[in-house]
Amino acid sequence: MYIARILYPVKVLGPGNRIGIWFAGCHHKCKGCSNPELWKADEKYFVTIEQVEKLIRTVAVGHEIDGFTITGGDPVEQADELTNLLTRVADISQDVILYTGYQIKELTSETQIKLLDRISVLIDGEYKEELNDGTFLRGSSNQIIHILNDQYCDKYEKYIRGNHNEIQNFMINNEVISVGIHNKEFRF
């Protein structure tokens, strides 16, 4: 699988202390994308599912993990691998937010349906720079939040109602990685 970064604790892309996973590889190539460096599934991003699971389990020792936020690139383009990973770490958390440029109605293959069964919240739709208006938890207002797991319905309805977009910065290898939903004027 191709993963560019794994960060913890991500506090701005879902409730609580989350493990954020950024997949590499995306065919959408949306204008104004916040992660254009992740469009290509470059070999430097290749890791095994076992390596990712081991890292997640290492973080889980002694740290509260309230969920996973999966983004990219587009994680749906690696649906088999992601489903396998989420199955392996379900004992840590089953609260999974997934961002994809695909619309839910396009996710019809058997592989994609299996992935959706592992997701709590799907945020779908391509990023449209002209619709970046600060809508909470979405890069652009055309994107739709789908709560797929009824177990999390109340939690996410309250979370969505009571919050606004924030930015969180991580320092990795002397570089700043800015995480969150940025306004369209923000330049990386």
pLDDT digits (tens, 9 = 90+) for 44-102: 999 999 999 999 999 999 999 999 999 999 999 999 999 999 999 999 999 999 999 99
Q: What is the pLDDT of residues 110-162, one digit of tens each?
A: 999 999 999 999 999 999 999 999 899 999 999 999 999 999 999 999 999 97
Distance (Å, rounded) from C-alpha 100 to C-alpha 116? 11
- Say if residue 90 is exposed, middle or buried (CB neighbours under 10 Å; 0-12, 13-18, 19+): exposed
Q: What share of the chain is helix, strand, coil (3-state, %, to 5)?
A: 30, 25, 45
Instruction: Note the pTM of the prediction, 2 decimals.
Output: 0.94
Cα 20 from Cα 82, distance rounded (Å): 13
Q: Which residue has the tokens 């430097």?
A: 44
The domain ranges of the chain are 3-180
